[in-house]
Structure formats: structure tokens, C-alpha cells
Amino acid sequence: MNDEMTWDLYLSLSGMKFLEFTVWGAWAPVLASRILGPLKMTGKQLGWIYATLPLACFLAPMAAGQIVDRWCPTEQYMAGAHLLGGVFLLAAARATRFTPLFLLMLGHCLCFAPTLAMVNSLTFAHMPNPEVNYFRVRMWGAVSWVLIGWLLSLWRRSGKLQVKGADSLVLAAVCSFVMGLYCFTLPHTPPAHTGAGALPFIKALSLFNEPTFLIFMVISFVVTTQLQFYYLGTARFLEDIGTSHAAIPAAMSIAQVAQVVAMAVILPPIFAPLGYRWIMALGTGFWLVMFLLYACMKPRGLVIGSMMLHGLAYAFFFDAAFIYINGAAPTDIRASAQGLYVAVTSGLGLFAGTQFTGFVMDYFRSDGKFRWRPIFLVPCVLLSLCTLAFAVLFKG
């Protein structure tokens, strides 16, 4: 850790990252198994429920970024959003039909989505030398994803306090309440915009006039359309190749273990020498290799081990992208710029991905069984093109 960053600040920001990702990590990797299994919904319905976060990421972050850039302290907005989001999660845990579950998850995600950008803008507002320090703060988000997966596995194995398969949503609600209260302890982050001139989100959109930024956003959009093959498909895929239901959260946490290693050990020394172009090209390449190994389907140990490539890819791609956005945007619109990136990738990109993935999964499904090999070969095609595009076209 750089000497300019105090331990108090490091611990405060690290705790924020840790708690932020317990909320998402409690439900996202495993809820698909409940939807396709006990609730007996279709792949298309699964796609729509998982589309709630992308829809919210498109609708909410730019508006919320406008609020915290101009009017409201970031930490106060985040506190209210997480407390309300926890209420929606508790209600969603009781829903067993598609429409109520979809609407309640959408309500939660509209609260949660803006905070994905705000934890970054708040971090960069207080952190010196983010190129050095960011990865060592951000890694605690990956640590929390690992630990929350293990906790859910232990909960399921214990057989205690069962809530008819909705344990992941109840756990996510508890985490959301804790995060909401924790936000009141974060460093005060007042609005940075003076109130004069263009609205922050309008000014953020002007970044598309820069060719390098435009290329970066287009490739990022295409990459994120393919990631729902991991999020929607992995839990059911692991069950189909012989992994027990209770072991799946812990098995999937191997990705976050790799992400922690990437951010704590690998990325800090190589980030500056390689630069954004090669770091993000490597990230998309890791996803390509993982899906190729998924398509092999065996041996099971190799398939499970390949999930570490998802963790490496996430760190190389998304966390490097957040630093790039912070450097590319003027100081007074950084929250809106981070919101713009979340809207394009986690919003439009993942939403398009849920619909595309749901369609592909239904197309290669017969008699209730998925043909996983052709399903996972689909993202390999576009990811190979994106890897090449980052290496050749992106000049960041």
C-alpha cells in the first residue's frame, strides 16, 4: 500500500467494497438454480429475472450520478439505497411466481445498481494514486464474494433456519441492511459539481466524442453481452455434470479467489508496463479460454478449475476499466462517467446478454435437458473477436 494512503482510509474503503459485494454475491451465482429447479420457470423467465440488474444499471446510475454530482453526498445516497433494497430482497424471498419475483428483484436492483458506480467514485474521490492503491482496496469485494458463497454453502449443509430455497435472497437482504448502516460511517463526499454549465450526465455523454473512449465503450458493451452465459448457466451446468447443489456456491467462489490474487499480487506490478490495451485484451482472452473449457464438459475438476479464469478476467477487464474511466473523465463528472460505464456495460450489455443467453439456452434444450457444449461455444466466437479488437484497435 502506498505511504500516502492512511490506514484509516484504507480500512474504511475496503470495508465498503467488502460489504457492497456481499449483497450481490449472496444471490447472483445461485438464484438461477432455484428459478430453473424448484420454481420450474423457463430459460426466458430466468433471463428476465436476471435482466433486472442490467435494466436497473441502464435506468438508474446516470440519474443517481446526477444527484450525487450536484446535490446529495454520495455516502448518504448509498445508505438509503441499501436499506430500501434490503426490504425488496426480503419480499422477493417469499415470491414463488414469475411476475412478483421479477418486480421485487427489479425494485431491489433499482436501489442497488447506482451504488456499483458510487463505490468507485467515492473511492477515487479520496484515494491517492489509484493506479497503485485501487486494486488492493477493490480486492476486498472479491474476498467478500468468496466468503459469502462459503457461508451460504455452510448454511445449506447445516440444515438449520431453512427458508424453502430462498436462503440466498434472505442472506442478501441481511447484507444490504448492514451495508446501509455502514455507509453512514464512510468519508464525507459532497457533490463536486458547481451547478453551472451542462448537467453532469450530459457532459459525461460528450466523452463519446473521443474516438478512443468510443472504441473502448463499444468493445466493452459486446464483451458484457457474453458474460450472462457464465452467470445464468454455470450453477445449472455444474449440477448437470455431477456437482452437488450444496457445494455449488463454494465451487463458484474459486473465481473470486483468483480475482483476489490478481488484484493483490498480479496486477499492481504489471498494470503500468502493459497499459490498458493489453490488460483488457488479456481479460477478454481469459473468458474465451474458460468458455472453451466449459464446452469440453470434462473432466469435472478441469471445468471447475477453469472458473478461476473468470476471476482473473473480471479483475483485468472491469477493474482496469474503472481506473481508465476515472482518468478519462473531468473531476466534476466522475460519478456520472462511472454511471455511464455501468449503464452501457452492466446495463445495456448485460440486459442484451440475458435475452440472448436465455434464447440460446432454450434453443439448445430438449426434454428438460440442456446441450451445454453448443451453448458455451456461442460466446467463444464474439469473445475471440473482442480480444483481437482490444489488441488492435484500442489505443488507451
Let me know how long the chain is.
396
- Residue 351: band (very low, low, confident or very high) from pLDDT cuts 50, 70, 90: confident
Give the DSSP letter string of 117-173: HHHHHHHHHH-S-HHHHHHHHHHHHHHHHHHHHHHHHHHHHHT-S--TT-HHHHHHH
- Residue 352, pLDDT > 90, answer no
- Residue 396: band (very low, low, confident or very high) from pLDDT cuts 50, 70, 90: low
- Residue 1, pLDDT > 60, answer no
Cβ neighbours for 279, distance < 8 A, ≥ 6 positions apart = 267, 270, 271, 316, 317, 320
Residue 320, pLDDT score: 84
pLDDT digit string, tens, across residues 104-140: 999 999 999 888 888 888 888 888 877 778 888 888 8
For residue 118, is it within any domain? yes
Q: Cell numbers for 249, please give them.
A: 456456491
For residue 117, is it within any domain? yes
Higher pLDDT, 5 or 49: 49
Cβ neighbours for 139, distance < 8 A, ≥ 6 positions apart = 17, 259, 260, 263, 264
Q: Which residue has the cell 457532459?
A: 203
For residue 1, is it within any domain? no
Q: Give how far Cα 103 sits from Cα of 53, 92, 97, Å.
A: 11, 9, 11
For residue 280, is it within any domain? yes
For residue 148, is it within any domain? yes
- Residue 196, pLDDT > 70, answer no
The average pLDDT across 199-213 equals 76
Asked if omega into 299 is within 30° of 0 (cis), the reply is: yes
- Residue 192, pLDDT > 70, answer no
Residue 358 dihedral angles phi and psi, to the nearest 5°: -60, -40
For residue 2, is it within any domain? no
For residue 228, is it within any domain? yes
Report the domain count for the chain.
1
End-to-end Cα spacing for the chain = 25
Give the DSSP letter string of 362-379: HHTEETTEE-HHHHHHHH
Residue 189's domain comprises: 7-392
For residue 202, is it within any domain? yes
| CATH code for the domain of 56 | 1.20.1250.20
